[in-house]
Structure 1
Amino acid sequence: MHAKFEIFAAVAPGLELALRDEALERGFRKAKAAPGGVRFRGTWADVWRANLELRGASKVLARIGQFRVTHLAQLDKLARDFDWTRVMRPDVPVRVEVTCKRSKIYHEGAAAERIERALAEELGAPIDPDAQVVVKARIEDDTCTLSVDTSGELLHKRGHKVAVGKAPMRENMAALFLRQCGFDGQEPVLDPMCGSGTFVIEAAEMAMGLQAGRSRGFAFEQLATFDSNAFDALKSPAEPADLAWNFYGSDRNAGAIEMSAANADRASVGAVTHFRHCGTSEAERPQGPSGLVIVNPPYGGRIGDKKALYALYDALGRTLKQRFKGWRVGIITNEASLAKATGLRFKPTSAPVAHGGIKVTLYQTDAIT
């Protein structure tokens, strides 16, 4: 239980550095960005804590073994010789996913069958295509790396949001975009197109110090390595926050406002979040200190005709320039021309991020003057 091994926290490409910074901040020492995620070494307790605390991760994988392999018969033998009992339970269903790259073994389905057979016949575990516990085998350059998906459902599913709107921003991406905007919980946040409230709720949870996975279960609870008492000791009780600022959302869709308020209540942040039914041009600056406006507007190729959206972005920009002096702005969109239509002065952008099959970019401003 105390031996260290490699842990991989996955994230949408383009957000690796932001997740690395969060991992280092959360005490995962020597975390390094890698394509599609962040690597660090740790124990099973670190796996549990990564799932519980890393707001930006989409999955947490535990590397459980590695061996050289060049043909299917060899894979069959090595998979049977592998000590699955160190990690897996014979009474828990499992499924296997294989990817092959630059290797003599290239048939992913055949490779998965060999590993599934080893799990079924040597461990005794049932093979189920819908199993929550997943063994992932990556065969690259004739080296097979075995990992277990310790998360189960994607980690953006926090466990307390029931209602979502059209084309929602995933919670883990929202958390990292907030981080990229410099948000550390010490200022108000407003989203004038809040949809189901993702940015507002995520910002409130961050400010209150709530653990991201506090309301959900994980696949690692079905592994042989799980210790429920040790895991319970990692959980922080939710305590009432006494913040000097609040978090705000508005939307022209009355149903979205109802969704947002209900989601905020389920997330235990209803006391510090406020939602208002109004159009973008009616958004008002809250009383109190300046903060961050962050918004994921409609954009072409997702939920709207791009040509019809320029007026919306123009109205958003005019409202922000007139009423939100001193506030910083973050806008996520897939078209530089739409961002430009706001008339805001943006800082240099970082790498685009895959979101629902579309590449989006975060456009940020300094404080509006």
Structure 2
Amino acid sequence: MDHRFEIFLACAPGLEAALASEAKGMGFGPLRPMAGGIAFDGTWRDVWRANLVLRGPARVLARIGGFPAVHLAQLDKRARRFAWGDVLRADQPVRVEATSLRSRIYHEGAIRGRIERAITEELGSPVADDGVRLLVRIEENLVSFSIDTSGGPLHRRGFKQAVGKAPMRETLAALFLRECGYRGTEPVLDPMCGSGTFVIEAAEIACGLAPGRARKFDFERLSGFDPQAWAQMKADAAPHPCDLRFYGSDRDAGAVRMATANAERAGVDHLARFECRSATAIERPDGPAGLVMINPPYGERIGKPGPLYGLHRDVGAALMERFRGWRVGVITTEAGLARATGLPFLPAGRPVAHGSLRVRLYQTGPL
């Protein structure tokens, strides 16, 4: 368990800096920025903790080793000698995925078949679609193996069972909040809250609720996993009291019901309040200034682009009139829609993949 190896935290390209900020703040590192994520050296306990406490990664990958190979016979021979039992278990199925770049071994189906056969015949693990995911990459004739220790994507916290149209993934929401400077010490309001993702994420951050506290991970199916140590790690990640309040509203009563139910499942319903009202009717809550976070409709996502300009203009005017001292973050695909708000945005963030779309974060300083 004390053996050190490379751990890779994957995220949507464009949010690597926000993820690095979160990971550094949680004591991981030294960090190595990479395209689509960040890497650092750590142990299996670091793998467990990253899955448990980090809000931004899409997955946590463990780089478990590799070797050079220039033909299939060599790949087969060296794969059979690899210490699979140090990581995998004979009683747990495995699923192999293979890629090849600039290598003499180029047939990905043949690569996958050789690795599957080596694991099955040498260790005894069956191959199945629901198995632990082993990623095989051959680049310039160097074979490397990674284990997807998360299993299901990490945005599946286990609480947002009810969703509306085009929901924001929790991992993206957490990193956009961080890019806006949110650290859990101020209120957050979302006037187009949908299923409540921004409000619930903000409330969980404020009271220190670990995002992985209620779900299973594939590292629990690996060799050397210690259930008692894992239970203690989860117990040590206990929440703390919070006296802030978080606010969401939506013109759709069904969305308000969904957000309320999701907040209750997440255990933050005592902190989060949801109301049915139009975005232009929002009012500043009592108390200190905070952050308004909006993932409004944009043409490719919901509705037609034309009428959305008027909506963005009216929402921007309401914020300028009623939310003095608050900061605003708006996520959209359209720079024109962001400009239509009339808000004094800072330079836009990098494009970020959101499903089939590419969005940007537009944020202000205090209004």
- Contact residue 84 and residue 123 of structure 1 kept, 8 A: yes
Q: What does the per-residue CA deviation read over 1:241-260, in whole Å, with 9 as the maximum and x for residues that have no partner?
A: 54332000000010100010
Q: Within 2, Cα distance between the matches of 1:241 and 1:69?
A: 51
Deviation at 1:316, TM superposition (A): 1.2
What are the equivalent positions in structure 2 for 1:323-334 lying under 5 Å apart?
A: 323-334=322-333
Q: Secondary structure at the match of 1:270?
A: coil
What are the equivalent positions in structure 2 for 1:139-218 lying under 5 Å apart?
A: 139-218=138-217
Q: Which residue of the partner structure matches residue 27 of structure 2? A: 27
Q: Does 1:286 find its partner at 2:295? A: no
- Contact residue 136 and residue 145 of structure 2 kept, 8 A: yes
Q: Secondary structure at the match of 2:3?
A: coil
What are the equivalent positions in structure 2 for 1:291-302 lying under 5 Å apart?
A: 291-302=290-301
CA separation of 1:305 and 1:364: change in aligned 2, threshold 3 A: same
Q: Secondary structure at the match of 1:2?
A: coil
Which amino acid is 1:64 matched to?
A: I
Q: What does the per-residue CA deviation read over 1:180-210, in whole Å, with 9 as the maximum and x for residues that have no partner?
A: 0000111000000000000000000000001
RMSD (Å) for aligned C-alpha atoms:
1.2
Deviation at 1:44, TM superposition (A): 0.4
Q: Secondary structure at the match of 2:343?
A: coil
Q: Within 2, Cα distance between the matches of 1:267 and 1:205?
A: 8
Q: Within 1, Cα distance between the matches of 2:322 and 2:296?
A: 19
TM-score, normalised with respect to structure 1: 0.97
- Contact residue 211 and residue 236 of structure 1 kept, 8 A: no
Which amino acid is 1:153 matched to?
A: G
Q: Secondary structure at the match of 2:360?
A: strand
TM-score, normalised with respect to structure 2: 0.98
Q: Does 1:3 find its partner at 2:3? A: yes
Q: Which residue of the partner structure matches residue 81 of structure 2? A: 81
- Contact residue 203 and residue 272 of structure 2 kept, 8 A: yes
Q: Within 1, Cα distance between the matches of 2:87 and 2:240?
A: 39
What are the equivalent positions in structure 2 for 1:1-369 lying under 5 Å apart?
A: 1-131=1-131, 133-236=132-235, 242-368=241-367
Q: Secondary structure at the match of 1:274?
A: strand
Which amino acid is 1:20 matched to?
A: A
- Percent identical: 58
Which amino acid is 1:303 matched to?
A: I
Deviation at 1:226, TM superposition (A): 0.7
Q: Secondary structure at the match of 2:75?
A: helix
Deviation at 1:237, TM superposition (A): 6.3
Q: Secondary structure at the match of 1:235?
A: helix
CA separation of 1:243 and 1:130: change in aligned 2, threshold 3 A: closer
- Contact residue 208 and residue 239 of structure 2 kept, 8 A: no
Q: Within 2, Cα distance between the matches of 1:267 and 1:361?
A: 28
Q: Within 2, Cα distance between the matches of 1:239 and 1:147?
A: 30
Q: Secondary structure at the match of 1:313?
A: helix
Q: Choose 70-79 or 325-334, whichever is displaced more.
A: 70-79
